[in-house]
Amino acid sequence: MQAVVSEQVAKMEAVWKQKITEELALRRQEQTLDRALSAFKGHARSRKLQIPGYDDAGRKWKALTEGLRKAVENFNRLPKEGQGAALAKMREKQNFRSFAVHLAGGQLKKLCYGSIR
């Protein structure tokens, strides 16, 4: 009888550990997504305000990928209300979510700061 109870407890602990691991992974993924969106907003703001390095010939601007530069330009063309909606869409789009998760391998810093600090 005690062996059966111990076996059931062990199974429940294994399920619990798996659930906790999955929740932590999801939380890490969401944090990575938040950092990627924050970096994107920072680049958009810097470009809009023409912060040194973000003009057409700027090193920080050129350090970004062509796709990211286009996304920033398109984002900055939106009205303020549309920008919030665009960020919400980016957060939900699977391709952006995959991109943000991909950035977790050290490339997020490059997105946040460009290749130049």
pLDDT the model gives residue 5: 85
Under 8 Å between Cβ of 109 and 116: no
Assigned token pair, 96:
């952006």
pLDDT in 10s for each residue of the chain, 117 residues: 888 888 998 999 999 999 999 999 889 888 888 888 888 899 999 999 999 999 999 999 998 888 889 989 999 999 999 999 988 888 877 666 666 655 555 555 555 555 444
Under 8 Å between Cβ of 39 and 112: yes
Which amino acid type is present at position 51? I
pLDDT the model gives residue 95: 66
Give the whole-angstrom CA distance, residue 38 versus residue 35.
5
Under 8 Å between Cβ of 111 and 68: yes
pTM above 0.85, yes or no: no
Question: DSSP code of 105?
Answer: G
Q: What count of other Cβ atoms lies within 10 Å of the Cβ of residue 103?
A: 19
DSSP class per residue in 41-78:
HHHHHHHHTT-TT-STT-HHHHHS-HHHHHHHHHHHHS
